[in-house]
Amino acid sequence: MAGAADENMSKRTPLFHEHSKLGAKMIEFGGWQMPVLYTSIVEEHRAVRKSAGVFDISHMGQLELEGAGAEQALNNILTNNVASLREGEGQYTFMLNENGGVIDDLIVYRRQQSRYLLVVNAAKMDEDIAWIRSHLGGGIAFSNQSLRYGAVALQGPRASEIMRRFDRAIATELPARNCVIEVASGDLSLTIARTGYTGEDGFEIFFPAQFATELWTRLLIAGKELGLCPAGLGARDTLRMEVCYPLNGADLSTQRTPFEAGLGIFVDLTKTNFLGRSALLAQRKSGLRQRLVAVKGAERCPPLRAHYPVFDNGKQIGELTSGTLSPTLGRSIGLGYVDVEFAVPGKEIEIEIRGRKYPATVEKKPLYKRAC
């Protein structure tokens, strides 16, 4: 947990006092004071898998671009093809440096023909803004709207039902997967995207910061009878690891490319020019040395953690970048980079934990898949 000095320097979301009322345990994360749990990580995790959980994601950055040249500018900066987006659609994508390393992973939404919203990681926001500004041409309005807005993620199999109870009028307009809409609910002006970081159905809802308490309270009331509970960063981490979603700064970094992370599907090399493309083409030609894999510990394996070394027959072949104990699977799980010849589902490996090696296997992603 962050010390007192760090706590004094970190920012508070518009929902900080609501977390305090609920007795949340707060930590410093990405420069913000955020709830890591309210009751327990396992309880909140299971609520999301069985019913629904609501997360404060106000720390995420919201950047807006508008102008006739915005599409081309974004296509020069991002790996996915923004031109393929229709109005109201979004896509997962990467912002790379010249060496093909990941500066940030983000979602870009085309809100209108020449108007875009980028939702970026909190810890990377300042770096992202500087990088985007340095690569923009003229005629484009670029602004950081992050402090003007709050945001929550409503995630779980009952998320749609909760939204219907929240506001029956807007429930008929809820977006399809990876799409976004702008609607009004009473005095609230909402941007609702059907996206998330848990592997479950759900929504990410953005709203003016001054309405944070009202929206949070209304959501909790709407979902109370359906098992909705507030959930913190701890459950968000265990949930995303079960579905093998990467965490920037751990599983993704400026030293790793999307190809090494196994996320080449979000890179459109048919685009003639974007930052990092030449490096990716060279890597594809030369071949990968390592790849990000999912691993699962044997039955009695202790919880896995980042930086635990991975072995095959006594030879180190890689290192974990994330790890946890999966509440759903009842096993230790993790993500890590291993030499490419060992990145095969079913491959038996060993992971060193405090000087002792434990058996584990490389697994097919995702480790958990929700029922349709």
Distance CA 47, CA 140 (A): 43
CA-CA-CA-CA torsion sign (154, 159, 162, 163): positive
In a domain, residue 329? The reply is yes
- Measured torsion, CA atoms of residues 157, 163, 168, 173, in degrees rounded to the nearest 10: -90
**Does some domain include residue 100?**
no
| pLDDT interval class at 5 (50, 70, 90) | very low
d(CA 356, CA 353): 5
Alpha carbon 198 to its chain's center:
8
> Is residue 91 domain-resident?
no
Full residue range of the structural domain in which residue 222 is found: 4-56+147-242
Domain-ending residue, one of 179, 209, 242: 242
Q: Examine residue 25 and state whether it is found in any structural domain, yes or no.
A: yes
Predicted TM-score (pTM) of this structure: 0.95
- Please tell me whether residues 228 and 295 are part of one structural domain: no
Indicate if 30 and 169 belong to the same structural domain.
Answer: yes
Domain count of the chain? 2
Task: Tell which of 242, 275, 302 closes a domain.
Answer: 242
Report the alpha-carbon distance of residue 263 to residue 258 in Å, rounded.
5
Question: Does residue 159 share a domain with residue 28?
Answer: yes
Mean pLDDT of the chain: 96
The verdict on 195 and 327 lying in the same domain is no
Does 10 score more than 90 pLDDT?
no
| pLDDT band of 133, cuts 50, 70, 90 | very high
Q: Please indicate, yes or no, whether residues 164 and 33 belong to a single structural domain of this protein.
A: yes
Per-residue pLDDT tens over the stretch 329-372: 999 999 999 999 999 999 999 999 999 999 999 999 999 998 76
